Every structure is written in C-alpha cells, then in structure tokens.
C-alpha cells in the first residue's frame, strides 16, 4: 500500500516537492520508489534508473519497478529494452490494462520494419485491454496502428463513415506526404461512400505557403477542422463543410452540432482580427517566400553534419530529422536532443529540438534577417554536437 501511495505522489505532485518529502536519507522502499519517479519526471533518468535497479535487486520482478524502468528506457529511445521490462511486468500482472498498453506501444514503436510476431503480440495485449476497458481511446488508436502496420485492413466492425487526416503530419514530425497522398485517400473515401475530413489545425491559414495544406494536392475535403493560429492565442476552433453536409441529419437535427462554448464573442473577435491581418499583411505569401529561403539555408546542414538525416518543409512548416546513423536512419536519442534544445535556449533561440524530428514553425511574420540569425545559432549548436560527437557517447 505504501508503494502505491508513493507512486501516486510521485506522478501527481510537483517533482521538487516529492524529492523534499522523500529525501535520499530515507532508504525505505516506498521513499526510494517515489524519489525515482520524481527524478524521472525531472529528466534525471540515470539517477532514477540507478534507484530502480537497486530496488529490483531487493524485489526482483516487481511490476511497478519494471514499469517505471520500461518508461525510462522508452523515453530515452531504448525501446527494445523497454519491451523487455514491460513483458516482465505484464507477466506478473497479465490483466493490468495500463501495463498491456505500455507493452503494446513499445512493441509497435520497436518495429520500424514490419515484425509480424511483435505486432501480433501488441494486438493481443490491446485486445485484452479493450475487453476490460472498451472505451479506452488510446488503446483503440494503438490497435488501429498495429493492424495497419501488420498489413491488416479488414478489422473494421462496420461501414466506414469517414477518413480523418492531416494534409501534412504535424506533431509526428512535420512530414510532407507525396502529392498523390490526399487524392488517393479521397478515392478510398469515395469508394466506401465515406467523408474525407482534413485537420488543418496546424497547416491552415498559410502555414505551408498555401492558404490550406490540402491546396498543395488540389483536394477539396468534405469537412475541414480549424483552430490554433487563426485565434491569435485565444482558444478558438471551427469547422467548415458544405451546405449539403451540414443540412443532413443527424448534424442538422436540433442540438446536433451545438456546443456549450460555441459562438464566444471574444474568441470570434480575435479570430476575425487574425484573419484580417493574415489577409492585409500578405502573410500567406510571406510564409511561402521566407519559407523557401529558410528551407534553402537548412538544406545545407544535410551535407555539413553527419547527424542530420533529412531537411524538409513547405512554407514555414519545416523539419530537421536528427539521426544517429544516416544509413539506418536510427533516430538521435532523446537525451541528446534535449541537450541540443538547451544549447539553443542558452543562445537565445527557442526551438522544438527536444525530439529527433526537430520541428520548425516560426511566426508567419518572420523575415529573412531573423532567419539568418536563427540559422547562425543552429549552425553554432550543430558544430558543437559534431565536435563532441555526442551520438557516439550514448
């Protein structure tokens, strides 16, 4: 019971408070466990791992300790080691939904090249979870990913209602698909009499150098979801569709598309002002022009630096893929990425370089001079990484 309380405290309270409440002088199992969780949350993974290894020597195969060790391995890019830990923890508690989800997630992530045995193991773990918790959205999402990766497409329980997709993947690494990607999805949707829903939350309003991300492939979606930058910082979201679709039941029924927080006057005024500025200041064209310039500068890093695997982008929607090995495309460990983030920050540049897919989405008002200054800082940091050859030290 003390161990469970320490786990809850470790994850729910501020890490610094947990460290004060569980000082290093307290050598009880619960205190060391809570302390290791706090250290893990602070990014001090080596210290956390040392404590967990010590606890596992005293209590081998404890599922809670194995779970945390798996999380540490997963977060630091050692996914196959995470699989070993999660398998051992699931062996102790085979019907625990959280452990099965963690195992499945690590199995899916550890199979960049299709591995049928591991994917089938992930599918079994997720099915077991969904038997106990049928409304677990994350488990359903992982299950769909596992089926897709395993080449199985016949798992739908009924008719296909819609395909929802980003025209360019944002959080997953600012990935630019081939121009025939959206048209192909449109054809699939048409074949099944389904709707194509495009999420333009990140790519909309000129971010990619065209007003909509879907404009790059010439596809007209049935429904478009909008948000983020057109609110100018205010929490605003919207949805666009055709008159035919919005007048079709159940959407057209009373309260069929209502929202408790819809139509907020302040949010609407902010969105209207943002749209006016995008139009009047030519920010879509600025995104295209300055984005092309930015991309040309970043492309030089591909040849200069051995850990830069790829540079890609459309407008001001850019990314640098940081790798440990250019041939295998093995991602740069997160620990190094976090160091790169801090080095940029020390030099006054706030970046999203804390993961192997280094995403770049500056303000659409950016000019070439600011780009030059930013690239100079990146070059300084990348030269430091190259000189230290950090990827060889992990």
Q: Global pTM?
A: 0.63
Which tens digit of pLDDT belongs to each residue from 346-363? 999 999 988 999 999 999
| List of domains in the chain | 2-149 (1.25.40.10), 162-280 (3.40.640.10), 283-393 (3.90.1150.10)
Tokens (6 digits) for 250: 């159940």
pLDDT at 202: 94
pLDDT at 151: 66
Can you tell me the distance from the alpha carbon of 143 to that of 172, in angstroms, rounded to the nearest whole number?
18
Can you tell me the distance from the alpha carbon of 380 to that of 224, in angstroms, rounded to the nearest whole number?
40
Tokens (6 digits) for 229: 């930058």
Please, are residues 281 and 361 in contact by the beta-carbon 8 Å criterion? Answer: no
Tokens (6 digits) for 354: 């804390």
Radius of gyration of the chain (CA): 24
pLDDT at 114: 61
Which tens digit of pLDDT belongs to each residue from 145-161? 787 777 655 544 446 78
Residue 366 CA: distances (Å) to CA of 210, 290, 291, 375: 16, 7, 9, 13
pLDDT at 75: 87
Tokens (6 digits) for 249: 């039941």
pLDDT at 113: 57
Q: How many helices (H) and strands (E) does the chain have?
A: 15, 8
Which tens digit of pLDDT belongs to each residue from 242-279? 998 888 877 777 767 777 778 788 888 999 999 999 99
The candidate with the shortest Cα–Cα distance to 51, out of 75, 28, 35, 30, is 35
Sole residue written with tokens 């990014």: 43
CB atoms within 10 A of CB 108: 24
pLDDT at 157: 45
The candidate with the shortest Cα–Cα distance to 229, out of 200, 191, 261, is 200
Angle at 1 between CA 102 and CA 59, to 5 degrees: 65
Tokens (6 digits) for 128: 């077991």
pLDDT at 156: 47
Residues of the chain with pLDDT under 50: 155-158
């Amino acid at each position: 019971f003390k161990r469970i309380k320490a786990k809850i405290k470790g994850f729910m309270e501020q890490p610094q408070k947990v460290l004060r409440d569980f000082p290093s002088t307290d050598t009880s199992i619960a205190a060391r466990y809570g302390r290791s969780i706090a250290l893990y949350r602070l990014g001090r993974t080596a210290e956390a791992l040392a404590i967990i290894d010590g606890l596992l020597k005293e209590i081998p195969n404890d599922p809670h300790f194995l779970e945390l060790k798996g999380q540490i391995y997963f977060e630091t890019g050692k996914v196959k080691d995470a699989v070993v830990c999660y398998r051992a923890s699931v062996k102790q508690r085979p019907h625990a939904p959280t452990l099965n989800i963690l195992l499945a997630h690590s199995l899916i992530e550890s199979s960049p090249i299709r591995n049928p045995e591991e994917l089938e193991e992930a599918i079994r773990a997720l099915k077991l979870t969904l038997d106990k918790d049928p409304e677990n959205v994350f488990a359903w999402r992982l299950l769909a990913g596992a089926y897709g990766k395993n080449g199985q497409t016949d798992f739908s329980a009924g008719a296909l209602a819609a395909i929802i997709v980003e025209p360019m993947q944002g959080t997953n690494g600012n990935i630019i698909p081939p121009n025939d990607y959206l048209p192909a999805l449109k054809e699939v949707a048409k074949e099944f009499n389904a709707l194509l829903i495009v999420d333009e939350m990140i790519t909309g309003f000129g971010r990619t150098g065209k007003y909509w991300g879907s404009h790059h492939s010439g596809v007209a979606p049935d429904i478009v979801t909008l948000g983020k930058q057109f609110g100018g910082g205010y929490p605003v979201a919207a949805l666009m569709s055709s008159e035919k679709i919005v007048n079709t039941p159940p959407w057209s029924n009373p309260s069929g598309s209502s929202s408790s927080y819809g139509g907020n006057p302040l949010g609407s005024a902010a969105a209207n002002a943002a749209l006016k500025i995008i139009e009047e200041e030519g920010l879509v064209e600025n995104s295209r022009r300055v984005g092309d310039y930015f991309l040309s500068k970043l492309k030089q890093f591909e040849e200069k630096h051995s850990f830069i695997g790829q540079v890609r982008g459309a407008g001001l929607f850019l990314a640098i893929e940081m790798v440990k090995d250019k041939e295998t495309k093995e991602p740069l460990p997160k620990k190094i990425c976090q160091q790169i983030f801090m080095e940029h920050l020390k030099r006054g540049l706030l970046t999203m370089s804390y993961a192997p897919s280094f995403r770049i989405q500056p303000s659409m008002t950016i000019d070439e001079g600011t780009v030059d200054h930013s690239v100079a800082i990146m070059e300084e940091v990348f030269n430091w990484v190259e000189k230290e050859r950090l990827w060889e030290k992990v």
